[in-house]
Structures are given as structure tokens and as C-alpha cells.
Amino acid sequence: MTRRDLGSDPDLLAIYDFTTLVAATARSARAHERIVRAAGAPITGAGLLALRAIARHDRITASDVARRLQVDLSTASRHVKALEDLGLVARSSDPADRRVSWLEVTAAGRRILDRARDVALNDFDAALSDWSPTDRARLAELLDRFRQDLLAVEVDDSGWSKRRAATSARM
């Protein structure tokens, strides 16, 4: 297939639709507000996004949080301050450069993240409730394979992904 006719592949279109839904849900303020409400968390949906961004790194600055959330520094700082005030995030100074403040999630913050994850897992369980254990396991296996392969894709100088050399077929 050429770059022009990929849109005629129904399998690729279905995968695109699925990943678009996942991405939209991952960025949806409404979805995150529902999750924090269901988790009984004392934060906003935007606060949950900030808490997750901080948790993905051992140490992170407010500027890094802003970059990861694609918001300006003042917005990220407001979210971080609210999380700090609730004891969900701790700030520490960098001994090598006192101008740098590192953020990390506290045990209380991890409990919030665990409850939010449980809400999402419940969503998945409900969506897959009439799937057989075999189908659920197969989906998990294929999604993990897709995740690994997507992370391994190389991009050419023009920004297009390169097709990988054929490897032995996996089942």
C-alpha cells in the first residue's frame, strides 16, 4: 500500500477509530471529572491529569508538568499547588540548583491514583463483561503487542513512519 491508499484499509481505519477514542477519552475533562467523582477523590479532573503526569516520573518540575499537559506554566502551577495543599504532591528543592523545585507524588496521592485506576478498570470490566476469558486474554495480548510495536516504529526525515522489515509471524 502507498501512503495514499491506507485510508481504504478497513482494519487500519478501525484501529484508528479505536485509538482516536482512547486519546479523546484520555484528554476529556468530563471523563476525568467522572473518574475523580467515582473515586471519591478531592481533586478536579485536571488535577488528576497533573497527578498522573507527576506520577509517571521519579522527579518532575512544574514546567515539565505544563509541557506534558500542554498548558501554560501558570495553569500547571495552579494544579500543582492544589495537589500540594491536599498533601498529594510534595515539593523539594534541588540541592545543586535551589531555583529548581522537584515534585513527587506522596502516598496519599498514590492512593488517589490507585482509586482512579480502579474506576477505569471497572469501566473496562463492564465493557468486556460478556466477553469470554479467552477473548479478554487475546485482546490484552494483542494490545500489548500493538503497544510494543508502535513504540518501536521509526520515522523518516519527512515525518512518515517507516514500514518495519518483516519478522517471523507472531500469533
Q: What are phi and psi of 111, to 5 degrees?
A: -65, -40
Segments forming the whole domain that contains residue 126: 6-152
Q: Report pTM.
A: 0.82
Write out pLDDT tens, residues 74-91.
999 999 999 999 999 999
The pLDDT of 14-19, averaged and rounded, is: 95
Residue with cell 494544579: 79
Q: What is the pLDDT of residue 136?
A: 98
CATH of the domain at 98: 1.10.10.10
Does residue 37 fall inside a structural domain? Answer: yes
Would you say residue 54 lies in a domain?
A: yes
Express each pLDDT in 131-161 by its tens digit. 999 999 999 999 999 999 999 999 999 998 9
Mean model confidence pLDDT for the chain: 92
Domain count, the chain: 1
